[in-house]
Structure 1
């Protein structure tokens, strides 16, 4: 009996050694899965899930399978904090998100307290990385860079035009509008209108009438695609040919769906199109096979996952503190966005904002 027992124990040990590791590392994806910005939440989700599938096919993170955990913040700051706390309670140590700056900023306070790394693919407000938090990073640029690019284009290419600046009162929208205003004001141009609107409203007739009365040639809008699309549609309905100029908040084809053909000629700032980067070719092809256009922040999210993978490999650890220290060290990461490195704040050491124009339902770099 004793020999049989020992033999059973030995056999069990051999089976256990032969079985693949079942441990999992949870990676949270926080973004607007529902609500008016759900199209951007889908971009983050698609990018994260493709990265997880690819990294798991190669053995996972440090031999552990990546499990993607989705948190819907609906673009609401208080809901974002709830998502962050849920992630923390569930043992999530790494987060790809959030989308909105107004959500990422308060959520990051929770992550900092719990020692969770948060890498935003899309939150551009400078405040996100200006608070001395060592666990916060972003694969996108900042609004002071984006606003400067927009301002430079306006000063160089739209001389003598009447400019109006409107924002949606959010940290992202107002922040971007103010950076653009700062840039054109420094170049000697003063806007004829500056005001905020309430996101979620459907009727902007009064604002459009005001733009018409002031003879505005260019409307710079700091905000997201839903309101931007409605502004364009309602300007055209009133016979206004004013050109809309906006930022990365309209980088989804849904903008065109809302705005209609009147969106032709809309200007927009965004990073150089990652879909055209040679390093992204294989991944872009994988998305296309699934019927997904990796526009907007899809590849920015994928790149955030690549950072985690390469930092884990380099440190031979899944300790968030060690990984954060490695990212801050100036190490270079080979990603679908090209080679990235980060400063002590958690920002990219290089920015690449350019101007795009919308035409025939899509956008292309000027």
Structure 2
């Protein structure tokens, strides 16, 4: 149903000829997130095959920047808007882009915007990043298997993201008839979590899932060690930022998307960029993969005489992140989240 709808919706825009095709790429090239935007653009340029003109615009990771980007893209008559790693910029750009039948392929915004939620029949934004729904599903599956016989607790740091993650994991485990021995909202940012850890021990929890940051996981591990209390800690992608103060315990696990360094499909790209002296980070890789999809979609659109939106909705794209398909909501149909364990330096995938 979604394919036929998109065909009608975007038919007015037509299928652009190769000599007039333009792809827009939005990234924060000024402000606090400029370094990330520069990496994103660098990856996109490295992947771009030059079959279409690439229009790069600075969204400054802000609402005003997003509006200006959308206006420029409409003026330039682009056929596909790509990039966007900041929800504020995408949220502001989307009304004008959709009004002009310009599909969007986002490199980093995970969740649906307010506009998409309010308009159930609006064309989807195709997202390279996976959202919390995928993270929760993978975490529930992994912990449901590993912690089936373990007394576990679920706690969160009180933030919106932390609460939603913890609540999602709790519900996923309850669906498997698994109940925690303890739940709580803790005070984040403390270097001493002795009181919290004491409550966990009194409850009999040997494992705990944290909806919170790496600094809190490190503090909880340190307190558990000081109280001579063996405690297995798990969390989501929020743990991926290595803490500034106390070290994480090697009994700390994380369910998060596989890093490019762990993907065979990204090895050649990583090596080539490293040989050039580049730092291969997540945004460089995301920019490259985004442009791989954009170029393939643009080429197929011309070959099959179909709107790009229909191509994005019905095609499997080969990228350095592997094979990627989008479902009817524009989300990736695969789930790249896997179990990782902290090895004293960083998180490494746990082999099955």
Same fold (TM over 0.5): yes
Stretch moving more, 114-123 or 184-193: 114-123
CA–CA separation in structure 2 for the residues paired with 1:162 and 1:283: 41
Is this contact kept in 2: 1:120–1:138, CA < 8 A? yes
Instruction: Quote the offset at 1:324 in angstroms.
Output: 1.8
- Which residue of structure 2 aligns with residue 230 of structure 1? 215
CA–CA separation in structure 2 for the residues paired with 1:96 and 1:161: 43
CA–CA separation in structure 2 for the residues paired with 1:351 and 1:232: 25
Query: Given the alignment, which residue of 23, 26, 32 partners 1:28?
Result: 26
Over 3 Å counting, the alpha-carbon distance change for 1:333 and 1:107 in structure 2 is same
CA–CA separation in structure 1 for the residues paired with 2:317 and 2:254: 28
Over 3 Å counting, the alpha-carbon distance change for 1:22 and 1:145 in structure 2 is closer
Query: Given the alignment, which residue of 309, 325, 348 partners 2:310?
Result: 325
| Secondary structure class of the residue paired with 1:264 | coil
CA–CA separation in structure 2 for the residues paired with 1:249 and 1:295: 17
1:148 has 2:130 as partner: no
| Secondary structure class of the residue paired with 2:307 | helix
Instruction: Quote the offset at 1:356 in angstroms.
Output: 0.8
CA–CA separation in structure 1 for the residues paired with 2:113 and 2:21: 36
CA–CA separation in structure 2 for the residues paired with 1:23 and 1:332: 22
Over 3 Å counting, the alpha-carbon distance change for 1:323 and 1:250 in structure 2 is farther
Query: Given the alignment, which residue of 339, 345, 348 partners 2:329?
Result: 345
Normalised TM-score (structure 2): 0.73
Over 3 Å counting, the alpha-carbon distance change for 1:261 and 1:303 in structure 2 is same
Instruction: Quote the offset at 1:104 in angstroms.
Output: 7.4
Is this contact kept in 2: 1:27–1:68, CA < 8 A? yes
- Runs of at least 5 residues in structure 1 that lack an aligned partner in the other structure: 1-20, 74-78
Larger Rg: 1
Instruction: Quote the offset at 1:113 in angstroms.
Output: 4.2
Over 3 Å counting, the alpha-carbon distance change for 1:334 and 1:151 in structure 2 is same
CA–CA separation in structure 1 for the residues paired with 2:342 and 2:167: 23
Query: CA deviation digits over 1:4-29, x for unaligned, max 9?
Result: xxxxxxxxxxxxxxxxx999754102
CA–CA separation in structure 1 for the residues paired with 2:170 and 2:100: 37
CA–CA separation in structure 1 for the residues paired with 2:128 and 2:236: 16
- Which residue of structure 1 aligns with residue 71 of structure 2? 89
Over 3 Å counting, the alpha-carbon distance change for 1:236 and 1:273 in structure 2 is closer
Over 3 Å counting, the alpha-carbon distance change for 1:125 and 1:222 in structure 2 is farther
CA–CA separation in structure 2 for the residues paired with 1:231 and 1:46: 29
Query: Given the alignment, which residue of 294, 298, 318 partners 1:312?
Result: 298
Using CA pairs under 8 Å that are at least 6 residues apart, name the structure with larger relative contact order, 1 or 2: 2
Over 3 Å counting, the alpha-carbon distance change for 1:361 and 1:160 in structure 2 is same
Query: Given the alignment, which residue of 332, 338, 341 partners 1:357?
Result: 341
| Secondary structure class of the residue paired with 2:280 | coil
In the alignment of these two chains, the number of paired residues is 313
Stretch moving more, 107-116 or 256-265: 107-116
Over 3 Å counting, the alpha-carbon distance change for 1:145 and 1:233 in structure 2 is closer
Instruction: Quote the offset at 1:160 in angstroms.
Output: 2.1
- Which residue of structure 1 aligns with residue 233 of structure 2? 244
- Which segments of structure 1 move beyond 6 Å, counting only runs of 4 or more? 21-24, 126-130
- Which residue of structure 1 aligns with residue 41 of structure 2? 48
CA–CA separation in structure 1 for the residues paired with 2:246 and 2:108: 25
Query: CA deviation digits over 1:295-339, x for unaligned, max 9?
Result: 54542342122111111112239x9x93222201x1121111122
- Which residue of structure 1 aligns with residue 85 of structure 2? 98
CA–CA separation in structure 2 for the residues paired with 1:161 and 1:121: 39
| Secondary structure class of the residue paired with 2:242 | helix
Query: Given the alignment, which residue of 268, 289, 305 partners 1:282?
Result: 268
Over 3 Å counting, the alpha-carbon distance change for 1:356 and 1:233 in structure 2 is closer
Query: CA deviation digits over 1:241-291, x for unaligned, max 9?
Result: 64432222343xxx2252543343321122344334343233212332354
Normalised TM-score (structure 1): 0.71
Instruction: Quote the offset at 1:193 in angstroms.
Output: 1.7
CA–CA separation in structure 2 for the residues paired with 1:178 and 1:166: 9
